[in-house]
């Protein structure tokens, strides 16, 4: 049950919950995208993403000076099922939909398609 306790502790923080939501809606996001959509500083974004990284919930990939993050959950695993349930719950929440819309507008303004992996922040 340790993994479940870690997940719920991770989700108990609103910023990390929003990060999970953003990452559940995209294959990969640059830290600058998370900062822009959530309106937080680079240090706050990195601190929360490091927390998730150390628990094994996200992986990272460096691209120049920017870090890209993605969920690190094996398909069909208990963790995957938990996150799918979370998606189902959050999908009906207006705030979650607004956050998803903000992400799409942010990426569109950058000229990045839904499948683009390369960050264009500079």
pLDDT computed for residue 121 by the predictor: 64
In this structure, is residue 60 part of a structural domain?
A: yes
In this structure, is residue 40 part of a structural domain?
A: yes
In this structure, is residue 114 part of a structural domain?
A: no
In this structure, is residue 116 part of a structural domain?
A: no
Which CATH number does the domain housing residue 19 bear?
1.10.10.10
Q: Each residue of 19-35: pLDDT tens digit? A: 999 999 999 999 999 99
pTM of the predicted structure, to 2 decimals = 0.85
* CA–CA gap between residue 10 and residue 16 (Å, rounded): 6
Q: Each residue of 73-121: pLDDT tens digit? A: 888 988 889 889 999 999 999 999 999 999 999 999 988 655 455 565 6
In this structure, is residue 73 part of a structural domain?
A: yes
Structure letter (DSSP) for residue 67: E
CA 94 → CA 39, 71, 84, 97, 99, distances in Å?
18, 23, 18, 5, 9
Which is more confident, 93 or 3? 93
In this structure, is residue 81 part of a structural domain?
A: yes
**Cβ-based neighbours of 115, under 8 Å, separated by 6 or more:** 27
pLDDT computed for residue 97 by the predictor: 96
* CA–CA gap between residue 80 and residue 14 (Å, rounded): 20
pLDDT computed for residue 82 by the predictor: 87
Number of domains in the chain: 1
pLDDT computed for residue 4 by the predictor: 81
Query: Containing domain of residue 94, as a range?
Result: 2-109
* 6 pLDDT tier (thresholds 50, 70, 90): confident
């Amino acid at each position: 049950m340790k993994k479940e306790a870690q997940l719920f502790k991770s989700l108990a923080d609103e910023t990390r919950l929003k990060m999970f939501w953003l990452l559940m809606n995209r294959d990969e996001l640059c830290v600058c995208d998370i900062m822009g959509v959530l309106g937080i500083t680079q240090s706050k974004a990195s601190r929360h993403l490091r927390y998730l990284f150390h628990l094994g919930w996200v992986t990272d990939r460096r691209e120049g000076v920017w870090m890209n993050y993605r969920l690190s959950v094996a398909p069909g695993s208990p963790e995957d099922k938990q996150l799918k349930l979370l998606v189902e719950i959050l999908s009906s929440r207006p705030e979650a939909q607004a956050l998803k819309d903000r992400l799409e507008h942010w990426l569109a303004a950058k000229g990045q398609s839904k499948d683009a992996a390369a960050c264009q922040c500079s």
